[in-house]
Amino acid sequence: MARILITSAIPYINGIKHLGNLVGSQLPADLFARYQRGRGNEVMFLCATDEHGTPAELAASKAGKPVDQYCTEMHEVQADIARRFGLSFDHFGRSSSPQNHWLTQHFAGQLAEHGLIREVVEQQMYSKADGRFLPDRYIEGTCPNCGYESARGDQCDNCTKQLDPTDLINPHSTISGSTDLELRETKHLYLRQSTMKDKLEAWIDSKTDWPVLTTSIAKKWLNDGDGLQDRGITRDLDWGIPVKKGAEEWPGMEGKVFYVWFDAPIEYIACAKEWADAKGLDDSAWQRWWRTDKGADDVRYVEFMGKDNVPFHTLGFPATLMGSGEPWKLVDYIKSFNYLNYDGGQFSTSRGRGVFMDQALEILPADYWRWWLLSHAPESSDAEFTWDNFQVSVNKDLADVLGNFVSRITKFCRSKFGEVVPEGGTYGAQEEALIADLTARLRAYEACMEAMEVRKASQELRAIWVAGNEYLQSAAPWSTFKEDPERAAMQVRLGLNLIRLYAVLSAPFIPFASATLVEAMRIEDQSWPADVVTALAALPAGHAFSVPDVLFAKISDEDREDWQTRFAGIRT
Ligand SMILES: [Zn+2]
């Protein structure tokens, strides 16, 4: 039995995520976790909310709540939606947890001990009206390059020039609008990534099986321009993990916190400790996933994320782990995704453009979305959600192919044999051909799932459904029944067993429909099929079942048009 550690990039706390976010990490990670569990492997699937940083503070202030209370509430909202989407995390943690405080401070202490932290005194914009230092992107002013009036302190969105807040003409705080800004001295800690360049590069070069998308992004950051830069890991904020050197105070860093990008990936590890603590297990329970000196040597660690997160996961986080001088488990494979666009443009949280996770579940069950998103995952390039495509895909794949198959065979059986698997008859050439076809397709499906080729896997699964439908169409037990009832009984028995096979194979993609089939067919053995012949005999003659309710309803043109209008971007 293999042991597989899976993490999904952690969603930011300030609001409900849209479908593009979902398909960029959590959903494909869930697909892989469910598949690996289905194959009988031991899986630890972790995700969490990313709760620190200025955007969380601002969102809380806008909601009129203390930031810790806001994060607690939003965490519960996100956890609830994740459950309803069937995201099967072993633990859904919080980057603000005591476990992450402890680990983040621990890593900083280790890095300092190994000479990998330097202290830098720098000048930063301070807003007297806001009573705080302002992060670069919370300062706006006129671009000195193109005259655009809403250029941010880090970059001008109009001409894309990289800027420093001091470059701006008439700079002001975007929080209060105040222009009463001044440069003040402040001290920060920098992670000396530049000294680890060779080590990181050698490690990345050793990952010959990684997709080019992943390694090319990492190489660019390692070598472009002046090469890998040291990175600030602290901020002048109230909300965050206080800067400490392990358990010790850090002289001169009082009142400062670690930068959210430093503590967020550490939460992957802290999350496993949260899981163990919640279950009342001791430290060895989570350490066997994360410490190579404590059992994690045989763990395969896979990370899922959008392409924008690749630099931090290939450089920043590994630099933290390697630099600690301790035997932490490093990632074995990174599965990264391009972007999902929405109906001719981008999803927009601020303008409410596109479908958000809570809204999606208000209009249709999770499996409809899971199927469409995964079968159109933005793997080799960006993908686009359109309502037409969604309607066609759901109606054809789920309703016509899978749903219709289940409905026809169970209803026919009920009418001729009752709600029980009929006995009699033996396989002929047609059945042998179906078995050969299914066997080849099953192996192809497994290979795609193992390789995390999400779209291809969905195509193989669909082909497996289609093969059953085509068999049923040509075997036509409703005709056979008149001349040869025994043969019809065999065909129906095979068809009912195909439903069981589909329930098992489809569970990673559409777990709710799969559970409906398991219940209706009273399936006890849900183990992954070793071979198709055995799998098609799992429900023996005499086994009772009930005809399930309609598995997937078709999406009408009227609904499609309604939704298209509703989600075009009017939410404020
Ligand atoms: Zn400009």
Return the structure tokens found at 211: 């997709």
Centroid of ligand 1 to alpha carbon of 204 (angstroms):
36
One-character DSSP codes across 377-410: --SSS-EEE-HHHHHHHIIIIIIIIIIHHHHHHH
HEC sequence for 167-230:
HCEEEEECCCCCCCEEEEEEEEEEECHHHHHHHHHHHHHCCCCCCHHHHHHHHHHHHCCCCCCC
CA distances from 271 to 346, 352, 365, 450 (A): 32, 31, 29, 25
pLDDT, position 571 = 47
Centroid of ligand 1 to alpha carbon of 218 (angstroms):
28
Strands (E), 87-131: 91-94, 117-127
Measured in residues, the chain has a length of 572
Centroid of ligand 1 to alpha carbon of 135 (angstroms):
19
What values do phi and psi take at 172, rounded to 5?
-145, 160
pLDDT, position 570 = 60
One-character DSSP codes across 225-255: TT-SPPEE-EES-SSSPBPEETTEE-TT-TT
Return the structure tokens found at 269: 């590890």
Centroid of ligand 1 to alpha carbon of 144 (angstroms):
7
Centroid of ligand 1 to alpha carbon of 173 (angstroms):
18
Query: Distance between CA 45 and CA 6 in Å, rounded?
Result: 5
Centroid of ligand 1 to alpha carbon of 142 (angstroms):
8
Return the structure tokens found at 140: 């706006």
Centroid of ligand 1 to alpha carbon of 226 (angstroms):
24
Sign of CA dihedral 375, 381, 382, 384: negative
In degrees, to the nearest 5, what angle opens at C-alpha 350 toward C-alphas 349 and 353?
55
pLDDT, position 58 = 87
Centroid of ligand 1 to alpha carbon of 65 (angstroms):
36
Nearest residue to 18 via CA among 93, 81, 86: 81
* pLDDT in single tens digits along all 572 residues of the chain: 899 999 999 999 998 999 999 999 999 999 999 999 999 999 999 999 999 998 899 899 899 999 999 999 999 999 999 999 999 999 999 999 999 999 999 999 999 999 999 999 999 999 999 998 998 888 999 999 999 999 998 888 888 888 888 899 999 999 899 999 999 999 999 999 999 999 999 999 999 999 887 898 899 989 988 889 899 999 998 899 999 999 999 999 999 999 999 999 999 999 999 999 999 999 999 999 999 999 999 999 999 999 889 988 999 999 999 999 999 999 999 999 999 999 988 898 878 889 999 999 999 999 999 999 999 999 989 999 999 999 999 999 999 999 999 999 999 999 999 999 999 999 999 999 999 999 999 999 999 999 999 999 999 999 999 999 999 999 999 999 999 999 999 999 999 999 999 999 999 999 999 999 999 999 999 999 999 999 999 999 999 999 999 999 999 999 999 999 999 876 44
For residue 293, give the amino acid letter. Answer: D
Centroid of ligand 1 to alpha carbon of 424 (angstroms):
78
Centroid of ligand 1 to alpha carbon of 12 (angstroms):
29
DSSP 8-state code for residue 12 = B
Centroid of ligand 1 to alpha carbon of 179 (angstroms):
20
Centroid of ligand 1 to alpha carbon of 147 (angstroms):
6
Centroid of ligand 1 to alpha carbon of 166 (angstroms):
14
Helix and strand tally (H, E) in the chain?
A: 22, 18
Centroid of ligand 1 to alpha carbon of 503 (angstroms):
56
Instruction: Report which secondary-structure segment, H or E, holds 306.
Output: strand 299-306
Query: Distance between CA 417 and CA 81 in Å, rounded?
Result: 42
Centroid of ligand 1 to alpha carbon of 518 (angstroms):
59
Centroid of ligand 1 to alpha carbon of 529 (angstroms):
60
Return the structure tokens found at 328: 């932490």
Centroid of ligand 1 to alpha carbon of 155 (angstroms):
8
Centroid of ligand 1 to alpha carbon of 220 (angstroms):
25
Centroid of ligand 1 to alpha carbon of 158 (angstroms):
5
